[in-house]
Amino acid sequence: MIQLPDILNGDRRQLAKAVTLIESTTKEDRKKAKKLLASLPENPNAIRLGISGVPGVGKSTFVEGLGQHITKTLNKKVAVLTIDPTSPISGGSLLGDKTRMEVLAAEEKAFIRPSPTKEHLGGVSATTKELILLFEAAGYDYIIIETVGVGQSEFEARNMVDLFLWLTIPNTGDGLQAIKKGLLELIDIAVVNKTDLFSETDVNLKLQNLGSIFSSHSRKPIVSKINSLNIESFKELYNQIKTHYDKNKAAIKSQRQEQLQVWKKQLLEKEILASLNYTELLEKKISETKDQSISELFSYLQK
């Protein structure tokens, strides 16, 4: 049995058990999970950061660097969660490999949670939102939501974080890709990564390029650069993120209110549909009518 005081004290074993409980899909575990979630105090001071970028852009190394800055330099706690919708589909996972962040994983003040191995009732993002509450209650100051950078995961992540950070590298067409996928409107902070591997000219060209893409944006994103292998360089970037956060604090507060309302509605929808046995009913009717023509179906619907 998970004890609330252990969670509030940040007991890692109990936290891991709570994560497993929240990710479980059995009816009994869901009941226990809801009870646990109902008991968690809120921690409104935690900062929720989304981090995205196409595969190969260096997300793991970046998160490891940022995470070390948070734990070692700032002496704060960080939880790294992932949204990886490829995981339940392909069996394999693009992210979620704990060993990717070996140094950070060994930190006492860091908790890295690989992506869930199977899809939760109501989607991966529903579970992730619950995990955010858990880690915030356990005293984690920063929650980093990492996405695979393909598909819908960025949109899901955007709806649960305060600031959304997008990683890129010079000499790539990922800016156009991001436009195509409608990602640009999500971004608060764009960071050109791996500056050690490219010339200053290439890095500056990318920064200019991003600057011009963002110039007309409502969200007024900031643009920065980093060499993620150099932990020292996270100091400046962190300060930029923090300044941006402080400047937009009022907007972020009302954004959280909106995110909360959306989430509450999703929880109620799921609950009502489950209580009405909607899925079973729909499946039954689909199978009953599967060979019907459309006019036969309209006839069936009159009954």
262 binds a second copy (CB under 8 A): no
The count of residues interacting with a second copy (CB under 8 A) is 41
Q: Which of 3, 20, 25, 31 binds a second copy (CB under 8 A)?
A: 31
295 binds a second copy (CB under 8 A): yes
Which single residue is written with the structure tokens 């002496």?
75
75 binds a second copy (CB under 8 A): no
- Is 201:209 a contact under the CB 8 Å cutoff? no
The contact pattern for a second copy, residues 179-218, with x = CB under 8 A and - = no contact, is: xxxx------------------------------------
Which single residue is written with the structure tokens 């070996």?
102
Q: Which stretch binds a second copy (CB under 8 A): 46-54, 98-106, 107-115, 269-277?
A: 269-277
CB of 276 to a second copy, least distance (A): 5
CB of 294 to a second copy, least distance (A): 6
Q: Which of 2, 15, 42, 107 binds a second copy (CB under 8 A)?
A: 42
Of 38 and 250, which CB lies nearer to a second copy in the complex structure? Answer: 38
265 binds a second copy (CB under 8 A): yes
- Is 183:209 a contact under the CB 8 Å cutoff? no
Q: Return the sign of the alpha-carbon dihedral for residues 147, 149, 152, 156.
A: positive
Q: Which of 8, 37, 74, 231 binds a second copy (CB under 8 A)?
A: 37
Q: Which of 16, 103, 260, 262 binds a second copy (CB under 8 A)?
A: 260
235 binds a second copy (CB under 8 A): no
| 3-state SS assignment for residue 225 | strand
Tell me the three-class secondary structure of 142-172, residue by residue.
EEEEEECCCCCHHHHHHCCCCEEEEEECCCC
List % helix, strand, coil for the chain (3-state, nearest 5): 55, 10, 30
Distance CA 154, CA 164 (A): 9
